[in-house]
């Protein structure tokens, strides 16, 4: 199987490079080898490689910076996925793309289903939704996996930030009114690779029968405050912490350029019903992530 992975240095892409390696001939690229802002080059690259499966782990993920760089966010999160979908369609390949809980406005008060109506509150969410729609409009074979609160312990993430603050500060205030599903990038990569293994030799046909949008995130939900508490409790080098207390705070106390949805947790039952796979409970995954490093 010929697999093209775009975004190999990102949180998810780094793990995908490892989980996809046993499944076929893998070509993995990232910026600056390929710049997604240059559509012509992207199109030519895919054409030359002729992959059977394209994994798009690239994204413009700087949620606040996107507010002042909407064109760049759209180029990477919406225009480039359209080019990938078009090239995939031309050669009968499948595109596996990732999207976000930030396509929702977080006002529903319950976990979001794939059938719920998106209404992004910020440029990042709008650009990711535009990417989903572009892929669907092209009409080839695709899986769009919406995930949430992705973290790595290798690259800068909420988890590494909380660990860093815990060693430099005595008191932390963390928002308790933003709720979603913390998702360890390694688990997400493992499960995505298993889809390919399940697909067998007719990967395009098997995945095409199941094409669509799926929610795939860590099981259970947490507020950022609960997540931070769990990080501090499970920290394997707890003796290095200088922090003595963690206080809940409100999002409104920390104004940011991008408005964030409050309850954007995803209901992942459709993915489990279709593929028989589930990401573990977010606490179990966090424990493993912190122990593994």
Ligand X SMILES: NC(=O)c1ccc[n+]([C@@H]2O[C@H](COP(=O)([O-])OP(=O)(O)OC[C@H]3O[C@@H](n4cnc5c(N)ncnc54)[C@H](OP(=O)(O)O)[C@@H]3O)[C@@H](O)[C@H]2O)c1
Give the footprint of ligand X on this chain (CB under 6 A).
Answer: 7, 9-13, 30-31, 34-37, 57-61, 76, 98, 100-101, 128, 147-150, 185
Minimum CB distance to ligand X smaller for 101 or for 235 = 101
Residue, CB closest to ligand X:
10
Minimum CB distance to ligand X smaller for 58 or for 267 = 58
214 is catalytic: no
All residues at 6 or more sequence positions from 212 whose CB lies less than 8 Å from its CB, including other chains: 114, 143, 144
Question: Could you give the CA distance from residue 24 to residue 22 in angstroms, rounded to a whole number?
Answer: 6
Minimum CB distance to ligand X smaller for 69 or for 284 = 69
For the bound state, the minimum distance from the C-beta of residue 213 to ligand X, rounded and expressed in Å, comes to 13
For the bound state, the minimum distance from the C-beta of residue 201 to ligand X, rounded and expressed in Å, comes to 28
Is the CB of residue 152 less than 8 Å from the CB of residue 185?
yes
Question: Could you give the CA distance from residue 253 to residue 178 in angstroms, rounded to a whole number?
Answer: 12
Minimum CB distance to ligand X smaller for 67 or for 241 = 67
For the bound state, the minimum distance from the C-beta of residue 91 to ligand X, rounded and expressed in Å, comes to 21
For the bound state, the minimum distance from the C-beta of residue 98 to ligand X, rounded and expressed in Å, comes to 4
For the bound state, the minimum distance from the C-beta of residue 25 to ligand X, rounded and expressed in Å, comes to 21
Give the long-range contacts of residues 227-232, CB within 8 A, separation 24 or more: 227/149, 227/158, 227/162, 227/182, 227/282, 227/286, 228/158, 228/162, 228/172, 228/174, 230/283, 230/286, 231/159, 231/162, 231/163, 231/166, 231/286, 231/290, 232/162, 232/166
Burial class of residue 164, CB neighbours in 10 A (0-12, 13-18, 19+)? exposed
Query: How far, rounded to the nearest angstrom, does the alpha carbon of residue 194 sit from its chain's CA centroid?
Result: 17
Minimum CB distance to ligand X smaller for 84 or for 196 = 84
- The one catalytic residue in 102, 112, 124, 214 is 124
Q: Which residues are catalytic?
A: 124
């Amino acid at each position: 199987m010929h697999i093209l992975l775009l975004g190999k240095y990102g949180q998810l892409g780094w793990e995908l490079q490892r989980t996809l390696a046993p499944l076929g001939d893998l070509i993995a690229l990232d910026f600056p080898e390929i710049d997604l802002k240059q559509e012509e080059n992207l199109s030519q690259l895919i054409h030359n490689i002729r992959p059977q499966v394209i994994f798009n782990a690239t994204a413009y993920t700087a949620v606040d910076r996107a507010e002042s760089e909407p064109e760049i966010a759209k180029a990477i999160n919406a225009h480039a996925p359209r080019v990938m979908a078009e090239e995939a369609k031309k050669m009968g390949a499948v595109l596996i793309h990732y999207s976000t809980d930030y396509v929702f406005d977080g006002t529903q008060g319950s976990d979001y289903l794939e059938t719920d109506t998106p209404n992004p509150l910020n440029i990042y969410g709008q650009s990711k939704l535009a990417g989903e729609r572009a892929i669907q409009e092209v009409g080839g074979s695709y899986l769009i996996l919406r995930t949430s609160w992705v973290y790595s312990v290798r690259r800068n993430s909420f988890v590494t930030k909380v660990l860093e603050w815990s060693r430099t500060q005595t008191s932390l205030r963390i928002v308790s009114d933003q709720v979603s599903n913390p998702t360890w990038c390694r688990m997400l990569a493992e499960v995505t690779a298993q889809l390919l293994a399940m697909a067998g030799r007719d990967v395009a046909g098997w995945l095409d029968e199941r094409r669509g949008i799926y929610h795939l995130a860590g099981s259970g939900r947490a507020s950022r405050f609960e997540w931070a508490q769990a990080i501090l409790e499970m920290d394997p080098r707890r003796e290095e912490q200088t922090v003595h207390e963690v206080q809940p705070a409100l999002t409104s106390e920390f104004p940011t350029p991008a408005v964030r949805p409050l309850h954007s947790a995803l209901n992942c039952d459709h993915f489990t019903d279709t593929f028989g796979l589930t990401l573990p409970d977010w606490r179990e995954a966090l424990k493993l992530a912190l122990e593994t490093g």
